[in-house]
Amino acid sequence: MPDFDTEGLVSAWIFDGAGGARRAGWEEIHQGPPRAPAFIWISLQQLDHRHGQSWLNNAAGIDPGIVESLVAAETRPRCALYEHGAFLNLRGINLMPYSLPDEMHSVRFWVEPNRIVSVRKRPLSAMGDFEDAIQRGRAPRTPGEFVADISMRLVDRMDTVITALAEQADELEEQVFKATLSNLSMKVSEVRRVAIILRRYIAPQREALNHFSLEDAEWLSPRDRNRLREAADRVTRFAEELDSVRDRAAVIYDQMVERRAEQMNHSMLVLAAVTVVFAPMTLITGLMGMNVEGIPGAQDPNGFWAVTLIAGLLGAGLVALLRAVRWL
């Protein structure tokens, strides 16, 4: 078999069980899992890589139903325990450049005592950092520590994005009575949309991690179980925080609607007051402007000023009356 491609679509590591690791090639993969306490991790990304896809379908020795779960197009976080291993599907937020905050990519694991197979369709920053740590000599000693370490890395990146989203909600609450409503409306809608999308995938992740921590296997130590439960607890807190952000966005939107209604009511009140003031004056000037005989003061040189004075006094009186009843 040829060696791995340079684009990193397929990679493999062999862990010695004592904190060390080295890269492996196709020959070692086809030899099967190493003896305990060592184990191998085979990472497949973008299954259009012909050798990786062919190995997974024909030579991996994994049940076809599990293979179907590993390569499924769209799945939510979940965990399924089997007699000889466990299937785990997790979601992670990508912090790579040009990634959107609501982009949660899936990474699927098939975990056996001496072998881990992971499948993902897009690059994930948490997985990249994990491989960097391995190269620096910080490799996991057991498959349980492997899964716990990756779970904590995925959770850490969620914390960064969700904290920023909560801070954005705080800023919107401060700006709701200051900023222009047309400029603020899009921001509120975006915050609420991102919170809903993130929660859709984050909430099931808690159950997946807790379920995996119940795996009855020697390679899952009490420390690994505690770390998995800690990751699940943090995911629970994130789900609650996203619920809070979503509810706060809804409250901000209601405040914006109320403010817009108040502005409209004020405009209508001013329009009504102007109408009340000028309607009688318009009636008087309309009557006095009719081109018929018998208009009072038509022959008086001071008639125009008299009508103007009467209209002005009437308008001033109406304004004073409206102020007295607090319309103005």
- Comparing CA positions, the residue from 201, 174, 190 lying closest to residue 90 is 201
Band of pLDDT at residue 25, cut at 50, 70 and 90: confident
For residue 94, what is the DSSP state?
-
Distance of CA 319 to the CA centre of its chain: 53
For residue 156, is pLDDT > 50? Answer: yes
Among left, alpha and beta (phi > 0; psi -120 to 50; other), residue 141 is alpha
The pLDDT assigned to 102 comes to 61
- Comparing CA positions, the residue from 47, 73, 56, 75 lying closest to residue 115 is 56
pLDDT digits (tens, 9 = 90+) for 76-110: 888 988 888 899 999 888 766 555 666 788 899 99
| Beta carbons within 10 angstroms of residue 56's beta carbon | 21
Tokens of 163: 């904290």
Four-residue CA torsion sign, 215, 85, 78, 143? positive
The pLDDT assigned to 87 comes to 92
Residue with more model confidence, 252 or 39: 39
Q: What is the pTM of this model?
A: 0.72
pLDDT digits (tens, 9 = 90+) for 157-186: 888 888 888 888 888 887 776 666 666 778
The pLDDT assigned to 100 comes to 63
